[in-house]
Chains A and B, each alone.
Chain A
Amino acid sequence: MGRGSRDYALWSIAIVVVLVFALLPVLWLISLSLKPSAAITDQSFIPTEFSLDNYKSLFEGGIDDSPFIKPLINSIGIALITTVISIVLASFAAYAIARLEFPGKRLILAGALAIAMFPPISTVGPLFDMWRTLGLYDTWPGLIIPYLTFSLPLAIYVLVAFFREIPWDLEQAAQVDGATPFQAFTKVIVPLAAPGVFTAAILVFIFAWNDFLFAISLTSSDASRTVPAALAFFTGESSFTQPTGSIAAAAVVVTVPIIVFVLFFQRRIVSGLTAGAVKG
């Protein structure tokens, strides 16, 4: 047995261990969501009886009575708006930081880092008071603003790292090749920056989508409550049944967009796209 094949075998085992560790809870969740309420506690990994009741219950009653549809809309809306604003602002900031020399550049980066490290929990109390005074409590902007605050540093850091890697000589090459500055930007720089922008966008989206702390503290009704917070308010069919099945089903449903999002953009995130532009 050569060294290469032994390494290969060890790596395979390591990967399998990680996969099982990561995926087992997800599979367990899916299994739970597919069990009818009577069988929830039967402790079998593979459901003996399949039913989609849990999923149906999520959407029952249409937009007004369903416990899930409104939060889902809130989640999608808030996460998307956060992502768009955050990426637009972060792109401008990162472009300036990566390409220009200006006073206060280090301060901006240090400030961004400081905010990223700041524990969100310590802002929740003051925010709760402020938002109630300002009328932002239990509104979409009430969540979007704190999400922006904490996602911008992340996005700026990712984008600065990406933008620094872009060979800016290409812009000049394009201009000599007969491009207007705008054409040079859209035809040469944008395609190169796209993977970085998508990576940052996915990270921001996932951050906003997954947040529980702000969602539970700064909302009080379906007007702005997002799915992670709404899950905590699920009730069973009667006061004696646990809402385990519906929670599992809801958890599966909110996981799907993330997976779709990542799979869809996966090809665009492929790194190393810029390799080979300049000397190798």
Chain B
Amino acid sequence: MAEIVLDAVSKVFPDGFEAVKEMNLDIADGEFMILVGPSGCGKSTALRMIAGLEDISEGELKIGGDVVNDKAPKDRDIAMVFQNYALYPHMTVRENMGFALKLAGVDKGEINEKVEEAAETLDLTQHLDRRPVNLSGGQRQRVAMGRAIVRDPKAFLMDEPLSNLDAKLRVQMRTEVARLQTQLETTMVYVTHDQTEAMTLGDRVAVMRAGALQQVGTPAELYDTPKNLFVAGFIGSPAMNFMPAEIASGKLVLPIGEIDAGELAGGHGDGKVVAGLRPENFEDASIVGDDLKRERGLVFEAEIDLVESLGSDLYAYFHVKSEGVQSDQLADLVEDRLDETGAANIREGEEQVVARLDPTSEVKRGGRTELWADTAKLHLFDPENGKSLKARD
């Protein structure tokens, strides 16, 4: 067990592409750290640098206090679970799991003991003498994890270990991973592009974009106080709604109405801003109590484009007038957001907004409804650099 420290670590590939830019990250002993970001953001490269599979171009990497920049993977005492499992096809499950110990020269009896112990934890005992080809996806995944845990390494590195499983199995293995980490209390670095995995698994989450670390914090911190537009848009599902807004003489002008800018504006003077509001911060105005309506928030009328009822929740899609929110941070997210919300039919001059309403709401597709927005939960961002107006640092 050990802490892992990345001190201004950079990775520049021979073709000049800068995959990771001066990354600073302290991962405490026993911590479950998640690296998350869209594909190509450098999260896997960062992990592979920790593993020693990728050279570090600049900066310093410490595992357990020792600088390991120039150490081969085998001398770093870390275990890694690969995205495609990378099981040895010519070995049985038992041999696969014991391979590392065999290389380390541990005697046979002890290897067997450890392998069987790990197999017990992972419910693989009856499969020990089978070959990977005869196992299901979930079983292979568990063998890959078993191969890592028999070694009792300083740290586990996981590279999107669940992405090849189907949705149901993924949820199951997710709880398994969480249980395992609590049980083993070993430092774990886990790479994923799935923000749900990131939010549910990690002690802390590091959000990356284009090789640069955006924000590191607990899932709740990232959700409640995103430092910039990218983090705000990436964390949460359905994603946060963004609309153009303007601060003018103490007032915040939104496409859905006008409120006192007050503390929201921070030190920001008059000018354009980007306003973000999560879907659950909207509600059907007829359901919200009058007291609450009077106290804060904004009641506005919207034409509902689409209603999706999931039983527990009800998603209402509507649109607001907007010349579009311009930010390259958001451009990175567009594809992800399209996948999630299906908001492909954004019309020129309009911005689609998703509201998560109480399932008892009676909003109808095509109808005009009064909605209430909890403006106390508004996030405001500088349109120039994408930074949150609240989180100044």
Instruction: Mark A residues whose CB is within 8 Å of B.
Output: 167, 169-170, 172-180, 183, 188, 191-192, 272-280
Kindly state the separation between the CA atoms of A277 and B131 in the bound complex, as whole angstroms: 9
Specify which of B52, B100, B134, B157 lies most central, judged by the most chain A CB atoms within 10 Å of its CB: B100
The answer to whether A173 and B90 touch across the interface, beta carbons within 8 angstroms, is: no
From the candidates A170, A175, A274, A277, name the one contacting B73 in the complex (CB within 8 A).
Answer: A175
The answer to whether A167 and B53 touch across the interface, beta carbons within 8 angstroms, is: no
Chain B positions within 8 Å of A276 at CB level: 87, 89, 131-135, 140
Give 14 new A-B contacts, CB below 8 A, not counting A176-B78, A273-B89. A167-B84, A169-B86, A170-B86, A173-B80, A175-B52, A175-B73, A176-B73, A177-B103, A178-B104, A188-B88, A192-B90, A273-B90, A277-B132, A279-B140
| B230 is an interface residue with CB less than 8 A from chain A | no
Known interface pairs A275-B133, A276-B140, A279-B137; A178-B100 also in contact (CB < 8 Å): yes
Chain B positions within 8 Å of A275 at CB level: 89, 133
Kindly state the separation between the CA atoms of A17 and B103 in the bound complex, as whole angstroms: 53
The answer to whether A175 and B84 touch across the interface, beta carbons within 8 angstroms, is: no
Interface of A: prevailing SS: loop
Kindly state the separation between the CA atoms of A188 and B86 in the bound complex, as whole angstroms: 11
Kindly state the separation between the CA atoms of A275 and B134 in the bound complex, as whole angstroms: 9
| B242 is an interface residue with CB less than 8 A from chain A | no
Shortest Cβ distance from A280 into B: residue: B137
The answer to whether A279 and B90 touch across the interface, beta carbons within 8 angstroms, is: no
Nearest CB of chain A from residue B151's CB, rounded to whole Å = 8
Chain B positions within 8 Å of A180 at CB level: 72, 74
Kindly state the separation between the CA atoms of A131 and B86 in the bound complex, as whole angstroms: 51
Chain A positions within 8 Å of B52 at CB level: 175-176
Chain B positions within 8 Å of A172 at CB level: 53, 73, 82, 86
Chain B positions within 8 Å of A167 at CB level: 84, 86
Chain B positions within 8 Å of A273 at CB level: 89-90
Specify which of B99, B104, B134, B137 lies most central, judged by the most chain A CB atoms within 10 Å of its CB: B99
Between-chain CB contacts (< 8 Å), 24 pairs? A167-B84, A167-B86, A169-B82, A169-B86, A173-B87, A175-B53, A175-B72, A175-B73, A176-B53, A176-B78, A177-B147, A178-B100, A178-B104, A179-B74, A276-B87, A276-B132, A276-B133, A277-B86, A278-B84, A278-B87, A279-B84, A279-B85, A280-B133, A280-B140
Known interface pairs A276-B135, A277-B132, A279-B137; A178-B74 also in contact (CB < 8 Å): yes
Known interface pairs A177-B99, A177-B100, A179-B103; A277-B87 also in contact (CB < 8 Å): yes
Chain A positions within 8 Å of B134 at CB level: 276
Chain A positions within 8 Å of B103 at CB level: 177-179, 183
Nearest CB of chain B from residue A174's CB, rounded to whole Å = 7
Chain A positions within 8 Å of B80 at CB level: 173, 176
Chain B positions within 8 Å of A188 at CB level: 88
The answer to whether B89 and A274 touch across the interface, beta carbons within 8 angstroms, is: yes
Nearest CB of chain B from residue A190's CB, rounded to whole Å = 10
Kindly state the separation between the CA atoms of A6 and B79 in the bound complex, as whole angstroms: 54
Kindly state the separation between the CA atoms of A176 and B74 in the bound complex, as whole angstroms: 5
Q: Mark B61-81, 1 if CB is under 8 A from A, else 0.
A: 000000000001110001110
Kindly state the separation between the CA atoms of A172 and B89 in the bound complex, as whole angstroms: 14
From the candidates B84, B89, B131, name the one contacting A192 in the complex (CB within 8 A).
Answer: B89
Specify which of A167, A170, A279 lies most central, judged by the most chain B CB atoms within 10 Å of its CB: A279
